Amino acid sequence: MILFALPALMLAAPTLSPETVAVPVIERPMVRPSPSPSPNPTAASPTPPRAEASPSPAAKAKPVASAPPRKPCALGCLTPVEAISFADNVAPKAGIAGEFDLTVMSVGEQQGRYYLNSETDYREHNCLTVVVTPSVVQSMMGSADLAGLAARMKGKRIAVQGIARRVRIDLTDNGQATGKYYYQVHVVVTDPRQIVMN
């Protein structure tokens, strides 16, 4: 067996001075010099130079086209059971990136985070939990209201893009750790575009 040893390459970033960072600004369009008259009379006459017209204000400010909403599960979705199985297999070092298809069976809130669960009992082993930040709830609904979120999402089928990770949940009794724990699989949503009604 032959082992190859490669020396470590150290690449230093070049130091940039203000002169190297400066970007040239062209104040007027470049104009080609007009061709010299041809001695051949049968040759076509040169094209006249174009008149420079200032663009109208409407031409300057064109609206940026927004991307069309993504189609849920276009590349295939994982079910909650598949997501949990795969996340358990790669835990604790990694998670499963993908798109997850689930029906929201219960909604909860704790410590400023909102939870969309695929089971009515969030402690169920086969429950995939979507953790939603208040800013996402605010942008989706206009307010970060648990009752409004539950009314809008409960019973709805959603597709969520993200990373499913196994999370340890420590049980407490009156604020004291009991030493008991269980695992949940969470997909954290920090951008409203991650969730699409399916």
**53 is a domain residue:** no
**127 is a domain residue:** yes
In the chain, the number of structural domains is 1
Which run of H or of E encompasses 189?
strand 176-189
Q: For residue 184, what is the domain's CATH number?
A: 2.40.50
**196 is a domain residue:** no
User: What are the tens digits of pLDDT across the range 103-150?
Assistant: 999 999 999 999 999 999 999 999 999 999 999 999 988 888 899 899
User: What are the tens digits of pLDDT across the range 25-38?
Assistant: 334 444 444 455 55
Q: What is the pTM of this model?
A: 0.64
**6 is a domain residue:** no
80 neighbors 122 (Cβ within 8 angstroms): no
Single-letter amino acid code for the residue at 175? G
String of DSSP letters for 79-126: -HHHHHHHHHHHTTT--EEEEEEEE--EEEEETTEEEEESSSSTTSTT
**71 is a domain residue:** no
Q: Which domain holds residue 120?
A: 80-191
User: What are the tens digits of pLDDT across the range 84-95?
Assistant: 999 999 999 999
Residue-level length of the chain: 198
Single-letter amino acid code for the residue at 109? E
